[in-house]
Amino acid sequence: MNELLFAFGLTLFAGLATGAGAFLSLVTRRTDAKFLAVSLGFSAGVMIYVSMIEIFVKAQVALVAELGERSGAWATAGGFFGGIALIAVIDRLVPARANPHEYPHDDAGRQRRLMRMGTMTAVAIAIHNFPEGFATFVVAMQEPSVAIPVVVAIALHNIPEGISVAVPIYHATGNRRRAFRWAFLSGLAEPVGGVLGYLVLRPFLDDVVFGVVFAGVAGIMVFISLDKLLPTAQEYGEHHLSVYGLVAGMAVMAVSLLLFV
């Protein structure tokens, strides 16, 4: 029982770190377009770097180990572009007035695009956090000494992820509680994934399934970054501000990964 509580506590801590990022959105001014541009660029940098350097690589390692070098590489690429295709199809099926690409470029249209972008980012992060929570929970159960630095690294990742959810929703609605709630809920997918994965899914899942899921999530996050975060960041601020934010987000993720190599 103590091991279960320890594993759940660590997984919950990692997930709730998303709320720390969301808190940053509560102290920003609603009219600060430059901050919004930098924050969205930063969020895109975080998601792209984490997807390509961490999630995609983990997926490929798992799939190559199970399927062999050639088949594993193909499966990883298939999962990655499958995730992109999935989110692209969903985007195309959305009615024009709800689609952030098709809505008019007036104030109401911008607010609708920001709100949709924030909620879709929350969903993508929740999908990512679910299997990540399961992995964290299992590590904590089997190797408690190894789990602590892993959880700290994941928590560092989740802080800017909270920004990527809360900032656009806050600037779309002006509602701090709503922005925090979306980010908070996306982070809760971490402990939920840990508990459900351990109690229900573990007997049925293998490395192949996890590898394909991780590759697909990487594709989804990259698509959202390139199709929504960066274009909106450039619309609300100078081009260079969004690029500086992009590089800063990548740098923060690189440092957080290197600290726990």
pTM, rounded to two decimals: 0.64
Per-residue pLDDT of 108-126, as tens digits, reads 666 777 787 778 778 777 7
pLDDT greater than 70 at residue 41: yes
Mean pLDDT (the chain) is 78
pLDDT of residue 74: 97
Per-residue pLDDT of 202-247, as tens digits, reads 777 677 887 887 888 888 888 888 887 788 777 766 778 889 989 9
- Specify whether the CB–CB gap between 158 and 187 falls below 8 A: yes
Where does residue 203 rank: exposed (0-12), middle (13-18), buried (19+ CB within 10 A)? Answer: exposed
Identify which of 90-94, 134-138, 243-247 has the greatest average pLDDT: 243-247
pLDDT greater than 60 at residue 101: no
Identify which of 45-54, 71-80, 109-118 has the greatest average pLDDT: 71-80
pLDDT of residue 142: 65
In whole angstroms, give the CA distance from residue 210 to residue 197. Answer: 11
In whole angstroms, give the CA distance from residue 192 to residue 180. Answer: 18
- On whether 2 is known to bind a ligand per the annotation, the reply is no
> Would you say how long the chain is, in residues?
261
pLDDT of residue 97: 44
- On whether 132 is known to bind a ligand per the annotation, the reply is yes
- On whether 129 is known to bind a ligand per the annotation, the reply is yes
pLDDT greater than 60 at residue 259: yes
Considering the chain, what percentage of its residues have pLDDT values greater than 90?
12
41 or 91, which is more confident = 41
Mean predicted confidence (pLDDT) in 238-257? 85
- On whether 239 is known to bind a ligand per the annotation, the reply is no
Structure tokens belonging to residue 75: 């499966």
In whole angstroms, give the CA distance from residue 94 to residue 246. Answer: 28
- On whether 101 is known to bind a ligand per the annotation, the reply is no
pLDDT greater than 70 at residue 156: no
- The sign of the torsion formed by the CA atoms of 61, 43, 86, 180 equals positive
Q: Which residues contact 73 (CB under 8 A, 6 or more apart)?
A: 60, 63, 64
In whole angstroms, give the CA distance from residue 114 to residue 127. Answer: 20
- On whether 102 is known to bind a ligand per the annotation, the reply is no
